Amino acid sequence: MASVISSSSTNIQSGRPIIIARQQSSLGGSSKFNPRPFLLSSSFSSGLKIRHHKNFISVNNNNNNQFSRKLASNNIVCEASSDTTVDVPSVTSETWDSLVLKADGPVMVEFWAPWCGPCRMLLPIIGELSKQYVGRLKCYKLNTDDSPAIATQYGIRSIPTIMIFLNGEKKDAIIGAVPKTTLTACIEKFI
C-alpha cells in the first residue's frame, strides 16, 4: 500500500546536502504526479531545515476510467547547513608523530574510511566533541585506506575505531559506532 522512496542530492544554490523521503499510497492503475509547493518549513538551531512538500497524485482505478481519485503524497526534505558539521582535521602517516605522538595533552583519533557508513555517522559526533573539548582535547581522523601502516601498527581490524592517546601512548580504544555519551565517558577519564 505505501512505498517509501528516498534519495539524496545537493542544493545547487546553497551547496547544502538534501535528503528527500517520499511516502506514496497507490490504489493500483496508473498514477500521475502534480508537484505543489511546500506547505511547512521548520528550521532548527543546529542548522537543520526540514520542509514538508505535498504532491497530489491522480489515480485511475481501472482502464474504463469510471472514476479517478486524487491522493496526497508527502515529501519531507531535510537540508543541513554548512555550520551543522565541524570538519575534523585529518592525520596521515607523515603527520602522525607530530600531531598525535608528540602532542601535549590527550588526543582522540578516529580510524575511518570514506566507504564506511558507521564511520561517516560518527564524524559529526567527533566534530561536536572537538568543539566541546576545545583546548583540552585534540581530535583527528585517520583514513585507513590512505595510511594502512598506522592502522596495522595499532592493530585496527574493524572501523570505526576511536583511540585515545596521552603523552604518545595509547590509553583506550572504542570499536564501533557508539553514542556520544560513551565517547564522553571515555574522554573524561583522561582530561
What CATH number is given to the structural domain containing 183?
3.40.30.10
The Cα–Cα gap between 164 and 171 comes to 6
Residues 72 and 95 both lie in one domain:
no
Adjacency order of strands within the sheet including 138-143: 138-143, 106-112, 161-166, 169-175
Domain of 105?
85-188
Residues 120 and 73 both lie in one domain:
no
pLDDT over 60 (residue 20)? no
| pLDDT band at residue 31 under the 50/70/90 scheme | very low
Residues 163 and 109 both lie in one domain:
yes
pTM higher than the cut 0.75: no
Q: Residue 139: enclosing H or E segment and its boundaries?
A: strand 138-143
pLDDT over 70 (residue 158)? yes
The residues, ordered by sequence, that sit 6+ positions from 85 with a Cβ below 8 Å of its Cβ are 123, 124, 127
Residues 177 and 115 both lie in one domain:
yes
Query: Structurally, how many domains does the chain consist of?
Result: 2
Q: Which pLDDT value is given to residue 24?
A: 42
Asked if 139 is an active-site residue, the reply is no
The whole-number average pLDDT for the span 123-128 is 93
Asked if 119 is an active-site residue, the reply is yes
Residues 96 and 155 both lie in one domain:
yes
DSSP string, 67-79: -EEEEEEEEEEEE
Contact between residue 160 and residue 179 where contact means Cβ atoms under 8 Å apart:
no
